[in-house]
Amino acid sequence: MSATQLVEGANEELASLIDQNFTSYRENSIVHGKILEVRNQVVIVDIGAKSEGIIPVSEFEDEEFEVGDEVEVLLERLENDEGMVVLSKEKAAHKQNWDKIVKVYEDGGLVKGKVKSVVKGGLMVNVGVEAFLPGSQIDIIPPKDLNEYVGNVYEFKIVKVNDIRKNIVLSRREVIEAERAEQRQQFLEEVKIGDQVEGLVKNITDFGAFVDLQGMDGLLHITDMSWGRINHPSEMLIIGQPVNVQILEVDKEKERVSLGLKQLQNNPWEGIEEKYPIAGEVAGVVTKLVPYGAFVEIEQGVEGLIHVSELSWTKRITRPSDVLEVNQEIKAVVLAINTDEQKISLGVRQLEPNPWDEVESRYPIGSTIKGEIRNLTAYGAFVELEDGIDGMIHVSDLSWTRKINHPSEILKKGDEVEAQIIDIDKTNQRISLGIKQLENDPWNEIDGRFKVGDLVKGTVAKIASFGAFVQLEDDIDGLVHISQLSEDHVAKVKDVLKVGDDVEARVIKVDRVERRIGLSIKAAEYSEEQLKKETAAFEALRPSSDLVGLEQAFNLATEEWRPGQEGEAPAEGEGEEDKAED
């Protein structure tokens, strides 16, 4: 072989080796290189290729470097337009980190990262590559201000990786929940009823507060917060507040813990009967007013109830708020104590003598009193005897002779009246009065004053559908039945008579037992002869329609007469035109 052939063969072998070395570098692969030169904007790196590579200086800003340092870079292009190799240090790191992230995701592990910024819907986190942390996955409790997380380093769980879009979604909440689950199990295994533990108030509701106990949520019910009355847990606690509590109950299966706060303090109800004996006087502050009474705190954690009926001996108090105010200092007397239910009954009126104890001596039965009409009802009139003590005149005790259906017919509010004490009921605190008892009962002598056949005069006082009431002398009323108004048929009483008319009539019936006088206008002009015949006919009428009508009229007058105004008297079954009128 000639020398020329040997040289050509060596050159071909060298070219082949060079080509093999050059072609071993693949684009988008990570290769090792050495820094040859640092210029203003780029760094020259030798990776052993045909030419050197260039990397922007900005990719080295976060670390120190110098000529001769070895670096790992990503081979982006083997040759650009200028014949240079295009390299990237950042992209090499990104590719390496991405591969690590995918491996951690596949293994179910955790990754550390630093929160970079707040974005719409959550946070951006640097875990070697950029990743998104949704707002719902930041913490167990939704954060109020996302900016407080920026710059902090946390551990995260990778919940989603999109290799095509190069997207990563993180969760810090799952990391916290896993830690809490482990802490919760450990807490449940170690804790015992009666233990005192420290926690943080996590949430407040109307019925209590939830306290975080090393990953375990315990319920502090409002009834276990204080021995005294509180209307809402927020009166004692705020979210985030450290609090020492006692374990009251542990349910490992349901993972529930009941807590107590008041149990760490002495129970003020112990020995309560010795501290506050029955009939003893106490002082306190009104804490709450309700329709049925007032709650009074007599010491911290101990309240008593003053029922509305125990506020006054005499005044009819319908609402405690009429006489008491919240935060008002007050004295009271202990009436009863129930230690099991932690209830104390108090009374205010017991601080003063009961005026009803001596009412019989001040108002003897049969004595006469004077008083002002305080109120009128359908069944009588209330008369004020003294401050807080009333007597009642029943409608039936207003007159011996007049049929009074409502006290307003002869009395009005504010009138001063004279009455007699009829009866006293101390138990029910009632005094019965009567006006008619001040006079003799004229019906005892009625037989000597009115006889059947007498001609009498009077004034029409009321009109009803069944007849007319006529006021005779001494306020005695007689009834003229509609059948006794005229010889002619009368359809309506008001067609013949009106209130205030003066009439003359014959007495046709006197019933002393039933206190009734029957009158007849049509018999007023009868001669003695005619009257005898009419009387005989009247006596023989039983059970004639006239007599029956008269008896029914008396019954109606007793049972159905319900005046609304002076002179009104609607009859049962009658229309508007048949109502009584003045």
Query: What CATH number is associated with residue 432?
Result: 2.40.50.140
DSSP state of 235: G
Q: Up-side HSE of residue 235: CA atoms within 13 Å toward CB?
A: 12
Residues 560 and 471 occupy one common structural domain: yes
- At 130, give phi and psi (nearest 5°): -75, 135
Residues 117 and 155 occupy one common structural domain: yes
Strands 467-471 and 430-434: unpaired
Given a cut of 60, whether residue 415 has pLDDT beyond it is yes
Quick one: how far is CA 106 from the chain centroid? 54
Per DSSP, what are the bridge partners of residue 294? 289, 306
Residues 248 and 302 occupy one common structural domain: no
Question: Which residue among 305, 325, 351 closes a domain?
Answer: 351
Work out how many domains the chain is built from and give that number.
Answer: 6
CA distance 306 to 213: 41
Given a cut of 90, whether residue 293 has pLDDT beyond it is yes
Looking at 402-557, which runs of residues are DSSP E strands? 416-425, 430-434, 455-464, 467-471, 477-481, 502-511, 516-520
What's the pLDDT score for residue 565? Answer: 35
Per DSSP, what are the bridge partners of residue 98? none
Given a cut of 70, whether residue 170 has pLDDT beyond it is yes
Q: Is 9 within the bounds of a domain?
A: no
What's the pLDDT score for residue 75? Answer: 74
Looking at 163-280, which runs of residues are DSSP E strands? 167-171, 196-204, 208-213, 216-221, 242-251, 256-260
Residues 451 and 539 occupy one common structural domain: yes
What's the pLDDT score for residue 534? Answer: 63
Per DSSP, what are the bridge partners of residue 134? 122
DSSP state of 79: -
Pick the range with the lowest mean pLDDT from 318-332, 347-361, 440-454.
440-454
CB atoms within 10 A of CB 31: 20
Q: Is 552 within the bounds of a domain?
A: yes
Residues 215 and 238 occupy one common structural domain: yes
Task: Reduce the secondary structure of 555-569 to three states and give it as a string.
Answer: HHHHHCCCCCCCCCC
Q: Is 6 within the bounds of a domain?
A: no
CA distance 141 to 217: 13
CA distance 53 to 37: 11
pLDDT, averaged across the chain: 80
Question: Which residue among 351, 373, 390 closes a domain?
Answer: 351
Residues 344 and 364 occupy one common structural domain: no
- R_g of the chain, CA atoms, integer Å: 54
Q: Is 7 within the bounds of a domain?
A: no
Question: Which residue among 62, 92, 122 closes a domain?
Answer: 92
Average pLDDT over every residue of 557-576: 37
Domain containing 255: what range? 191-264
Given a cut of 90, whether residue 432 has pLDDT beyond it is yes
pLDDT band at 513 (very low <50, low <70, confident <90, very high): confident
Q: Is 198 within the bounds of a domain?
A: yes
What's the pLDDT score for residue 546? Answer: 46
Quick: pLDDT tens for 116-151: 998 998 999 888 778 898 988 888 777 888 888 988
Q: In this structure, what token pair is assigned to residue 131? A: 């990743």
Residues 197 and 241 occupy one common structural domain: yes
Highest mean pLDDT of the ranges 67-71, 487-491, 557-561: 487-491
- At 391, give phi and psi (nearest 5°): -115, 155
Residues 360 and 326 occupy one common structural domain: no
Q: Is 229 within the bounds of a domain?
A: yes
Residues 557 and 465 occupy one common structural domain: yes
Q: Is 403 within the bounds of a domain?
A: yes
Cβ contact 315:389 at 8 Å: no
Residues 283 and 238 occupy one common structural domain: no
Highest mean pLDDT of the ranges 8-22, 243-257, 568-582: 243-257
User: Nearest-5° angle of CA 451, CA 457, CA 463?
Assistant: 105
pLDDT band at 12 (very low <50, low <70, confident <90, very high): low
pTM of the model: 0.44
Quick: pLDDT tens for 514-540: 778 889 888 888 877 777 776 665 555
Residues 534 and 468 occupy one common structural domain: yes
What's the pLDDT score for residue 286? Answer: 94
Q: Is 99 within the bounds of a domain?
A: no
441: left (phi over 0), alpha (psi -120 to 50) or beta: beta
Cβ contact 551:447 at 8 Å: no
Q: Minimal CA–CA distance to 183: which of 215, 145, 229?
A: 215
Pick the range with the lowest mean pLDDT from 69-73, 282-286, 431-435, 516-520.
69-73
Highest mean pLDDT of the ranges 25-29, 469-473, 508-512, 571-575: 469-473
Q: Among all chains, which residue has been given the structure tokens 């693949």? A: 26
Given a cut of 50, whether residue 290 has pLDDT beyond it is yes
Given a cut of 80, whether residue 491 has pLDDT beyond it is yes
Residues 573 and 472 occupy one common structural domain: yes
| DSSP letter for each residue of 505-548 | EEEEEEETTTTEEEEESTTTT--HHHHHHHHHHHHTTTT-HHHH
- The amino acid present at 75, given as its one-letter code, is L
CA distance 469 to 475: 11
